[in-house]
Amino acid sequence: METPYDAVLCSLELDTDGSIRFVRTGAADEPVRVLRLDRAPLADAHNLDVAISWSATELTATISDRDDPARGSAQATLRS
């Protein structure tokens, strides 16, 4: 699926369970895609870098500690 950028809405949400949820919506004929990341490895980080990308078949999100990049990161990919 290919959606014009002006028709795409994205949100990042911090859930009460500590996970980060990335939601991407597009045109009316496209399904909503939801990707959940476990934030537990970075629970005490105060400044997060978030990278998100998507294509017609894949949705990827990565979070990392901005103050200490050596800590690693959490990444998740959703394929359709």
Q: What is residue 38's predicted lDDT score, i.e. its pLDDT? A: 86
What are the structure tokens assigned to 58, written together? 């894949």
DSSP category for residue 71: G
| Structural Rg of the chain based on CA atoms | 14
For the chain, domain boundaries: 5-79
For the stretch 34-80, pLDDT in tens is: 999 888 888 888 898 988 888 878 889 999 999 998 888 888 898 87
Task: Record the pTM.
Answer: 0.73
What lies within 8 Å, CB to CB, of 69 at 6+ separation is none
